Chains A and B, each alone.
Chain A
Amino acid sequence: MASGIMADRLSKTFRVKVRDPGLAGAVAALVRPRYRDVPAVREVTFSIAPGEIVAFLGPNGAGKTTTLKMLTGLLYPSGGRVDVAGFIPWSGGSAFKRRIALVLGNRQQLAWDLPPEETFLLNRAIYEIPDAAYRERLDELVTLLDLSPVLDKPVRQLSLGERMKCELAAALLHRPSILFLDEPTLGLDVTAQDGIRRFLTEYRERHGATILLTSHYMQDVTALASRVLIINRGRLLYDGQLDALVARISRVKRLELVLGDGVTAEAVGRFGTVRSFRFPNAVLEVPREEAAATSARLLAALPVADLSIEDPPIEEVIRQAFAEGSAANEGASEP
């Protein structure tokens, strides 16, 4: 595999010290420590083709970051196999690390007290980037990320969004073929989030990089990745196209209406379930397969200024996917 990712029954179990509350508990833990095995990732299997962009979705503590850390060689798995760009990450050494980039949204590599350019120069030395290539890549990143106003300011004076852009630049100077991004838009405002997303799309188009990102912002997913991996409680619940997930999970479509004069909620309610009604706007939910027919009947029966058929918001679909996944898991463990 040139720059693909393969995980086969990947598992990680943490051994956690358990302690009863109170002083007695603390003493007991000291004298006779007890441990409990906490499975963080359970037999996760997937593969990502070179150049693909995939989003890893899941609530906090689902196992996203743990999986990412195993794929980048930071953590040793408890079981299973991994192949990233032809390497086993935790024994791939320098050759492997030169092929990848890891950007952690909440941990930065930029030297806090120095301008970002000093970190770039450090990475030039560490990754042994030739001078000409360094200049060319830095120019490209400065243009794409609009970094010229911040290059010579100490990092501590930059905004969160500016810092994240500089983090990305520092992580991409060695031109990695696989990018692992953990919550790259965490805490950013809408404009900054949008800037990061546009950059990632552009970067992938230019250099064909494989990108695996975790996020809990749905906009990241809808804007960047067509394929999603959904993980909850360490288990992979879904691997596939976002559209297919929406079709599978949500059996309804939404008709968003702008109504003509005198139409009441009751009148609209005859055609489906009213999700919201604030005249002249109304949102109606109807079974997915009847959406077209219902729309036609509604247009014929009521004065309607505008009508559009939409999928339910992706957040709702995902929430439903998690709920169904947990229910399925519980069902399996309690026959």
Chain B
Amino acid sequence: MRLRAWVKAYAALIRNAWLVDLQYRAAIGLWLLWGVTEPAIALGIWWAIAAGGPVAGYARTDFARYFFALMLVNQLTIAWDSWYLDRWIREGELNFRLARPLNPVHESIADNIAYKARSGGIILLLWLLVAAAWPAVRMPLDPARWALTAVAVLLSAAMRFFISFTTGLLAFWTTRASAIMELHGSLALFLAGRVAPLALLPPAIASLAGVLWFRGMISFPVEVLTGAIQSPAALQRGFAEQVMWLLLWFGAYRVAWSRGVRQYGAVGG
């Protein structure tokens, strides 16, 4: 396809995703509430713990900034595709998608763009409202930092997308693809920095997060945004890790897709 055709196809896919969203306003409100509640609860707990003074260098306002940044980063990078793929494969909804001259991965990417533009926009608005009243959650208006954050968020979103999509592809071989994704989500709760900044985790667990892809999923972009990471060397290392894990997961997606499609069909539909 030429560039113009790609743009048209993506525009049409995103348009349809938004039109479907409009039909499910209440459900989307609930998902957003969930996206806000989890970091809000974590913040509440750390706020209480930090009453007597900073914890591992994090004062109350640091926690506030961390979890507000996390709220935004998580909504901009989260991917639900494993659940969709699992259903497409097990219930035969992949069939018509395979018969179209467009790899189904593009429909998923367009869906993600639609979802993230919508949810990220709402969270950003919410944040601006809170920041107007509560100086603790204001971020410095430093263009360079926001630009770095944008790159880190983009890499994280791409990586989380391919993790989710590839795990969903396991449905070609197993009926437990969603369970595997849930296990991954539980690990990410701790290892990606969703319940606490990684600096607060026991060293053994924190180092595990550094060895695997979890830090690059959420913690790193959040730290870039809040300014917790300042040294160019640490930034470089963080980006290098993100790029490496993105490439590895992209490779895993390519292998799983080409083998899975060959294997497809043993499960009816």
Binding site for B on A (CB under 8 A): 12, 14-16, 66, 69, 72-76, 93-95, 97-98, 100-102, 104, 106-109, 111, 113-114, 118-119, 121-128, 154
Contacts A14-B266, A97-B101, A111-B20 hold; do A122 and B96 have CB atoms under 8 A apart?
no
Contact residues of A: prevailing secondary structure: mixed
The contact of A98 among B9, B24, B97, B101, by CB within 8 Å, is B101
With both beta carbons as reference points, the residue of chain A lying nearest to B102 in the complex is identified as A126
The 10 A-B residue pairs with the shortest CB-CB distance in the complex, in nearest-first order: A125-B12, A94-B101, A97-B101, A109-B96, A102-B99, A75-B265, A113-B23, A125-B8, A125-B9, A122-B12
For the complex, give the distance between the alpha carbons of A100 and B95 in Å.
14
For the complex, give the distance between the alpha carbons of A119 and B93 in Å.
15
For the complex, give the distance between the alpha carbons of A278 and B15 in Å.
63
The contact of B99 among A14, A74, A119, A128, by CB within 8 Å, is A74
Contact B95 A118 (CB under 8 A): no
With both beta carbons as reference points, the residue of chain B lying nearest to A93 in the complex is identified as B101
List, in ascending order, chain B residues with CB within 8 A of A121's CB: 12, 15
Contact B101 A124 (CB under 8 A): no
For the complex, give the distance between the alpha carbons of A121 and B9 in Å.
10
Contact B96 A102 (CB under 8 A): yes
Contacts A125-B12, A126-B12 hold; do A97 and B23 have CB atoms under 8 A apart?
no
The contact of B101 among A69, A104, A127, by CB within 8 Å, is A127
Nearest-neighbour CB distance to chain B for A113, whole angstroms, equals 4
For the complex, give the distance between the alpha carbons of A49 and B110 in Å.
39
Contact B23 A107 (CB under 8 A): no
For the complex, give the distance between the alpha carbons of A179 and B98 in Å.
15
List, in ascending order, chain A residues with CB within 8 A of B1's CB: 94, 128
Contact B96 A104 (CB under 8 A): yes
For the complex, give the distance between the alpha carbons of A76 and B99 in Å.
14
Contacts A14-B265, A14-B266, A111-B20 hold; do A72 and B12 have CB atoms under 8 A apart?
no
List, in ascending order, chain B residues with CB within 8 A of A127's CB: 100-101
List, in ascending order, chain A residues with CB within 8 A of B269's CB: 107
List, in ascending order, chain B residues with CB within 8 A of A104's CB: 92, 95-96
With both beta carbons as reference points, the residue of chain B lying nearest to A38 in the complex is identified as B266
List, in ascending order, chain A residues with CB within 8 A of B102's CB: 94, 126
With both beta carbons as reference points, the residue of chain A lying nearest to B20 in the complex is identified as A113
Interface positions, chain B 123-167, Cβ under 8 Å from A, are: none
Interface centre among B13, B19, B24, B99 (most CB of A within 10 A): B99
With both beta carbons as reference points, the residue of chain B lying nearest to A102 in the complex is identified as B99
Interface centre among A12, A66, A76 (most CB of B within 10 A): A76
For the complex, give the distance between the alpha carbons of A73 and B97 in Å.
12
Contact A97 B12 (CB under 8 A): no
Contact A107 B93 (CB under 8 A): yes
Q: What are 7 A-to-B residue pairs whose CB atoms are below 8 Å?
A: A12-B265, A94-B1, A111-B16, A111-B20, A113-B23, A123-B100, A125-B9
B5 within 8 Å of A (CB atoms): yes
List, in ascending order, chain B residues with CB within 8 A of A100's CB: 99
For the complex, give the distance between the alpha carbons of A97 and B97 in Å.
11
For the complex, give the distance between the alpha carbons of A101 and B99 in Å.
8
Nearest-neighbour CB distance to chain A for B245, whole angstroms, equals 30
List, in ascending order, chain A residues with CB within 8 A of B100's CB: 97, 123, 126-127
- Knowing that A101-B99, A102-B95, A118-B15 touch, tell me 10 more A-B residue pairs with CB under 8 angstroms: A72-B99, A74-B99, A74-B264, A104-B96, A107-B269, A109-B96, A111-B16, A111-B19, A113-B24, A126-B102
For the complex, give the distance between the alpha carbons of A122 and B8 in Å.
9
